[in-house]
């Protein structure tokens, strides 16, 4: 009896770890998959190259690419785009200002494409650059070899959401739904095909970077996205899926905020909830419920610290000096 129970426990643990393993290993970096006719999802290799995902959208006589990626990622996307369509890339939409989504802009404009973003993307670049570009250029060959002092902002911006494109073959909507991952978060929505490209406002996996974000507002942005009629969600990192990605992303931010708020209410100091090793954050005492485990990973201590600062200082963490 005792042995049976022990075996059951071990078996259950094995299943759990297998489940964990499966969710983390179903990544298919550098593959291109058709989502609906004329819309392809390219999964970026975040682990080895730091690349984001991209979406290729075919219009009547041109292509729209979602996200510029890093320069090396931009070149891979360009090659793959040529394999699925002979049409030229006319627009590249930066979902936000981060290097893995926008530093490839000069590669695309050199090809004759027009880079496009919500006005908040250009404003975030002004806020954080050229410092980040110059730091990245020291460690990333693809950025360094461009020999530029600063990133290239999107050539075209819009401030009224949604911004529309419709050439008769397809209607494409560019939305700003509020501050979640950055102040510039842009979504691409195809109403007929029910496809939503979310950038990093929704990731499928433990990829959330919160330092430029607004953790308290994040779930509200997901609420707005979920009001759209959606079948396919194509996230900035992690594999494609459906609305469950937006719901899970919303639940993760809600649970993170709730758990940290409870710790603050219990009188915990920031050093009680996150542990440092030198200048590196190594662990956190905060535990989140199982339903959000897909979003929990090595960044949790940093996310907890960011949530702590945001709640304690009554300001979006991205508004605090960093």
DSSP state of 112: T
- Which residue from 83, 71, 84 is spatially nearest to 44, judged by alpha carbons? 71
Q: Which of residues 37-66 bind Zn ion (CB under 5 A)?
A: 52
Binding piece for Zn ion, criterion CB under 5 A, among 15-23, 184-192, 230-238, 244-252: 230-238
Minimum Å distance from CB 55 to Zn ion?
A: 14
Q: Does 306 bind Zn ion (CB under 5 A)?
A: no
Minimum Å distance from CB 203 to Zn ion?
A: 8
Spatial distance between the Cα atoms of 103 and 47, rounded to a whole number of angstroms: 18
Minimum Å distance from CB 104 to Zn ion?
A: 12
Binding piece for Zn ion, criterion CB under 5 A, among 25-33, 68-76, 93-101, 163-171: 93-101
Taking the least distance from each CB to Zn ion, the nearer of 151 and 236 is 236
Spatial distance between the Cα atoms of 79 and 290, rounded to a whole number of angstroms: 40
Q: CB–CB of 217/264 below 8 Å?
A: no
Binding piece for Zn ion, criterion CB under 5 A, among 125-133, 233-241, 278-286, 307-315: 233-241
H or E element, residue 165: strand 163-166
Spatial distance between the Cα atoms of 120 and 134, rounded to a whole number of angstroms: 21
- Which residue from 160, 179, 239, 180 is spatially nearest to 205, judged by alpha carbons? 239
Taking the least distance from each CB to Zn ion, the nearer of 24 and 287 is 24
Contacts of 234 (CB under 8 A, 6+ apart): 35, 41, 53, 55, 66, 195, 196, 197, 198, 240
> Binding-site residue total for Zn ion (CB under 5 A)?
5
**Residue 140: Cβ within 10 Å count:** 18
Spatial distance between the Cα atoms of 231 and 238, rounded to a whole number of angstroms: 17
Taking the least distance from each CB to Zn ion, the nearer of 59 and 102 is 102
Minimum Å distance from CB 100 to Zn ion?
A: 4
Taking the least distance from each CB to Zn ion, the nearer of 54 and 170 is 54
- Selected binder of Zn ion within 98, 170, 243, 305 (CB under 5 A): 98
Q: Which of residues 236-295 bind Zn ion (CB under 5 A)?
A: 236
* N-term to C-term CA, the chain: 57
Minimum Å distance from CB 12 to Zn ion?
A: 35
Spatial distance between the Cα atoms of 36 and 240, rounded to a whole number of angstroms: 12
Taking the least distance from each CB to Zn ion, the nearer of 52 and 89 is 52
Contacts of 140 (CB under 8 A, 6+ apart): 50, 70, 99
Q: Does 201 bind Zn ion (CB under 5 A)?
A: no
Minimum Å distance from CB 116 to Zn ion?
A: 17
Q: Does 317 bind Zn ion (CB under 5 A)?
A: no
Binding piece for Zn ion, criterion CB under 5 A, among 10-18, 70-78, 159-167, 199-207: 199-207
Q: CB–CB of 187/95 below 8 Å?
A: yes
Minimum Å distance from CB 185 to Zn ion?
A: 9
Taking the least distance from each CB to Zn ion, the nearer of 191 and 241 is 241
- Selected binder of Zn ion within 43, 58, 94, 100 (CB under 5 A): 100
Spatial distance between the Cα atoms of 24 and 120, rounded to a whole number of angstroms: 32
Q: Does 200 bind Zn ion (CB under 5 A)?
A: yes
Residue numbers at the binding site for Zn ion (CB under 5 A): 52, 98, 100, 200, 236
């Amino acid at each position: 009896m005792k042995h049976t129970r022990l075996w059951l426990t071990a078996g259950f643990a094995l299943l759990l770890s297998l489940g964990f393993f499966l969710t983390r290993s179903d990544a298919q970096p550098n593959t291109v998959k058709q989502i609906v006719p004329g819309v392809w999802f390219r999964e970026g290799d975040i682990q080895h190259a730091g690349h984001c995902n991209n979406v290729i959208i075919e219009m009547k006589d041109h292509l729209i690419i979602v996200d510029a990626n890093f320069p090396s990622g931009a070149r891979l996307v360009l090659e793959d785009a040529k394999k699925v369509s002979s049409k030229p890339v006319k627009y590249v939409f930066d979902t936000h200002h981060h290097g893995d989504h926008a530093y490839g802009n000069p590669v695309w404009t050199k090809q004759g494409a027009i880079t496009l973003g919500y006005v908040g993307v250009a404003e975030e670049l002004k806020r954080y650059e050229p410092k980040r570009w110059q730091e990245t250029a020291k460690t990333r060959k693809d950025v360094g070899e461009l020999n530029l002092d600063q990133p290239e902002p999107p050539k075209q911006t819009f401030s009224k959401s949604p911004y529309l494109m419709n050439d008769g073959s397809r209607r494409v909507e560019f939305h700003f739904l509020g501050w979640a991952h950055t102040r510039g978060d842009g979504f691409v929505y195809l109403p007929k095909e029910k496809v939503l490209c979310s950038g990093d406002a929704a990731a499928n996996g433990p990829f959330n970077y919160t330092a430029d974000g607004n953790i308290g507002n994040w779930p509200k942005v997901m609420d707005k996205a979920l009001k759209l009629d959606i079948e396919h969600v194509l996230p900035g990192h992690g594999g494609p899926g459906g609305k469950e990605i937006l719901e899970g992303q919303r639940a993760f931010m809600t649970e993170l905020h709730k758990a940290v708020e409870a710790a603050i209410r219990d009188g915990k100091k920031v050093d009680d909830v996150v542990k440092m090793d030198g200048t590196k954050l190594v662990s956190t005492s905060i535990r989140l419920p199982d339903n959000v485990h897909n979003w929990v990973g090595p960044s949790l201590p940093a996310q907890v610290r960011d949530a702590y600062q945001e709640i304690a200082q009554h300001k979006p963490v991205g508004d605090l000096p960093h």
